[in-house]
Structure 1
């Protein structure tokens, strides 16, 4: 069908296929969202419906493109312009950065034009994609195992350390200290100039059998280290800015005071922790680019501007690579990568679960993400084709139980749970499987199990649709 023929087609006729897709996806999505846990709608049916919605998306796209062949051309042009423009904006300065910004805007304009050329098709695609994701996540969540036993435990002398300045004052705004005291928890306030680890050890010396921390991820790691050292449970109160650790534990970051229920009605959960030269971390350790950005004095007050100032220096073609070397589990030697991120359990970088989250905290593995520049990787076997391809630069993920990072310098700057520190080399990164005992709210266990299932993404939905999961 030509563009002219399509334009002459009555609107009611041309929109019928798209309207059918909209009604179908809306019906299934509503069913997935509103159906309660007691429903007899089996996860397998929801998985099949999710795949049907996903399969209809390319059909809608093809139908739209057949009606107007200019759309795929504009899409390709837009993506290319946006990619080149974004790269120039990030890696260049002054005039070239301005040119990059202009190209990026032009690319976005092409993409917007492509989308608005066929509004019914656009609405159908959006609804189908939302329906596929909603149905898929619901199917995976309904299949989560909630029958595994949990162990309830109530501490007799719990102590909660509060950082009143963390997260813009969440401890004060949510009245965390007052609520904790009302539950019989001893509250210790971290005042300026006091040592957090010393406060935690003093609490144990007074007889504390459980330690809690209301603060950010960096503070959580410090107190967790003391809890591990003395073999007592640890409670997280998400009163920081980002609270990545709390998110992956299944806690409600928007209601930090909801975590206080762990002190009176909590359940025990054992998870992994990791160390960098013996220093405990709960999230990740970053080397290279991110560490350079965070190390800058102006980063905390002007994150975006500092990042834009630093990136051209470290990503320029003639910039020397970072002085760090390590061996991947595959046996490949990597030298001078741009970024090395090592996490306590692997992060998700694709799939239905939010990118940058960890579906599990007890895999016993470190997660690794390495970005290499054009001269970064040095293959151990030059004849190996896969090693040669990596030597030209790119992104690679890996998992390991331990990793050693070396450098010609005696010290290297790293970011540990968002805080920049200088550590001696070599840096030994080690996973400690199920070495940290947590005391968490009961409902967080369900959230964690659901997240673990959701992380299976499309592969899990496919297996479920086939009746294999």
Structure 2
């Protein structure tokens, strides 16, 4: 189905949802919509109080989160209109999904671009057998890589190793490609060495999340498929983020990040020794003081013309996240824009929390782009999460981007990535639906 017909389905489903409400609920449809909106608002406020309160107040807020939507459902059933709501909600969901699909028709890509590259003569790969719950062993990645001519260093889980030093030694020994099978933190360390020496870098998504691999279009469900880059590869130039001490005293002390660096609430939580053993309980225990500014440093952010004072959380990313992702937790459509993404979150009330939880940019969420970002604090050092690794960095902290610093070697054939779903725009959908001839 092309974009024109998909848009028509979206308009038809949206109109049908409204028609169902008006025909079977009449004037009560206004009350139904008002009740639903009120239930969502109360639930969102309850979530905020769960995160920002302790003790009896948190228990009452949790009860509110459960009871608010339940009360709305009971009222719908009592009015004999529950089936009307279900049908209308299903039609509206169909309208939104097909509307967004219509706006993205023709924008997907099965094979992302790249310049054909000759196979490396002496590839060197570092593999972490513990990453991703043992994906290296489960996928027999070592044996498959060695069969393709790669030299593989398997990290010893019981002995901490300097992966950057391993990579540098490999380059000194003649390696003409560096690669990592592991998480984003390890990927970043070796990517920095590859950029430093100008050799291509290969990503094998054997970690838990592997956001960098996702944004490169790799198949995270099949790490072994990335090994095709050794024999039938293409090369891309992508940006790298660098984080270090700001000012002349920095002395070149920087660390690479391929995804993002976080400051504030999230960074403080992951610094806790208890976080790895019990993430949920540690987060709930620490968040109230962090969100209400009772603990933690007071942050200040400078990025071009943007100045943020006392945000609760800051996320600096290697290229900005998609516009349809207000929380900055999704995907980057490009890795070669030459700018950092900056997200600052300041939430001081349940109303602001409700606005953000509904996926909308409000006064509590600020987004910007800049080639350089400086994060300062009223403390001599600040917690940071760099590609998921917990660090303590002297302030002020400087983040910068190095455009095109990394040569990435990728398989010619890979799933690719589809553009993030754009914000719903009914005017564009209507124009597309009325377009004659083939569209999309």
The alignment's TM-score, normalised by the length of structure 2, stands at 0.83
Q: Which moved more, 1:424-433 or 1:209-218?
A: 424-433
Aligned pairs (5 A) from 1:84-95: 84-95=45-56
Residue 147 (structure 2) pairs with residue 187 (structure 1): no
Distance 2:424 2:172 in 1: 50
Name the residue aligned to 1:431.
Answer: 401
Name the residue aligned to 1:126.
Answer: 90
Q: Which moved more, 1:404-413 or 1:218-227?
A: 404-413
Q: Which moved more, 1:366-375 or 1:116-125?
A: 116-125
Name the residue aligned to 1:43.
Answer: 3
Distance 1:149 1:244 in 2: 19
Listed one character per residue, the Cα deviations across residues 24-73 of structure 1 (whole Å, up to 9, x for unaligned) are xxxxxxxx4xxxxxxxxx43443444444445444444555526455234
Shift of 1:428: 1.1
Listed one character per residue, the Cα deviations across residues 77-117 of structure 1 (whole Å, up to 9, x for unaligned) are 42243123222211111111111111111112034446764
Aligned pairs (5 A) from 1:250-265: 250-265=217-232
- Give the alignment partner of residue 36 of structure 2, picking from 68, 75, 97: 75
Secondary structure at the aligned position of 2:266 is classed as: helix
Secondary structure at the aligned position of 2:321 is classed as: coil
Aligned pairs (5 A) from 1:135-214: 136-137=100-101, 140-144=104-108, 150-153=114-117, 154-191=119-156, 192-214=159-181
Name the residue aligned to 2:196.
Answer: 229
Name the residue aligned to 2:416.
Answer: 447
Q: List, as ranges, runs of 4+ consecutive aligned residues in structure 1 with deviation greater than 6 Å.
A: 145-149, 351-354, 466-469
Residue 420 and residue 65 in structure 1: after superposition, are their counterparts in 2 closer, same or farther (change >3 A)? Answer: farther
Name the residue aligned to 2:345.
Answer: 371
Shift of 1:314: 1.2
Distance 2:275 2:121 in 1: 42
Residue 388 (structure 2) pairs with residue 413 (structure 1): no
Distance 1:65 1:234 in 2: 60
Secondary structure at the aligned position of 1:218 is classed as: helix
User: Contact 1:60–1:125 (CA<8 Å) still a contact in 2?
Assistant: no
Aligned pairs (5 A) from 1:270-285: 270-277=237-244, 278-285=254-261
Residue 464 and residue 283 in structure 1: after superposition, are their counterparts in 2 closer, same or farther (change >3 A)? Answer: farther
Listed one character per residue, the Cα deviations across residues 132-171 of structure 1 (whole Å, up to 9, x for unaligned) are 5256436624345789963221211111110001111111
Q: Which moved more, 1:322-331 or 1:401-410?
A: 322-331
Name the residue aligned to 1:312.
Answer: 288
Listed one character per residue, the Cα deviations across residues 362-393 of structure 1 (whole Å, up to 9, x for unaligned) are 12121111112559xxxxxxxxxxxxxxxx96
Compute the RMSD of aligned alpha carbons: 3.1
Listed one character per residue, the Cα deviations across residues 341-365 of structure 1 (whole Å, up to 9, x for unaligned) are 1111111363799962112111212
Residue 74 and residue 146 in structure 1: after superposition, are their counterparts in 2 closer, same or farther (change >3 A)? Answer: closer
Distance 2:428 2:412 in 1: 27
User: Contact 1:65–1:72 (CA<8 Å) still a contact in 2?
Assistant: no
Secondary structure at the aligned position of 1:443 is classed as: coil
Distance 1:60 1:351 in 2: 31
Distance 2:407 2:153 in 1: 21
Aligned length: 407
- Give the alignment partner of residue 358 of structure 1, picking from 332, 346, 357: 332
Residue 82 and residue 226 in structure 1: after superposition, are their counterparts in 2 closer, same or farther (change >3 A)? Answer: same
Residue 254 and residue 148 in structure 1: after superposition, are their counterparts in 2 closer, same or farther (change >3 A)? Answer: closer
Secondary structure at the aligned position of 1:198 is classed as: helix
Distance 1:253 1:234 in 2: 17
Higher helix proportion, which one?
1
User: Contact 1:322–1:337 (CA<8 Å) still a contact in 2?
Assistant: no
Residue 299 (structure 2) pairs with residue 324 (structure 1): yes
User: Contact 1:352–1:458 (CA<8 Å) still a contact in 2?
Assistant: no
Distance 1:411 1:207 in 2: 39
Name the residue aligned to 1:13.
Answer: none
Secondary structure at the aligned position of 1:142 is classed as: coil
Residue 245 and residue 59 in structure 1: after superposition, are their counterparts in 2 closer, same or farther (change >3 A)? Answer: farther
User: Contact 1:342–1:366 (CA<8 Å) still a contact in 2?
Assistant: yes
Unmatched 5+ stretches in structure 2: 245-253, 350-361
Distance 1:128 1:408 in 2: 48
- Give the alignment partner of residue 242 of structure 1, picking from 184, 198, 209: 209
Secondary structure at the aligned position of 1:367 is classed as: strand
Distance 1:73 1:465 in 2: 30
Distance 2:363 2:423 in 1: 28
- Give the alignment partner of residue 300 of structure 1, picking from 269, 276, 280: 276
Distance 1:294 1:412 in 2: 13
Name the residue aligned to 1:340.
Answer: 314
User: Contact 2:302–2:374 (CA<8 Å) still a contact in 1?
Assistant: yes
Unmatched 5+ stretches in structure 1: 1-31, 33-41, 376-391
Distance 1:238 1:263 in 2: 15
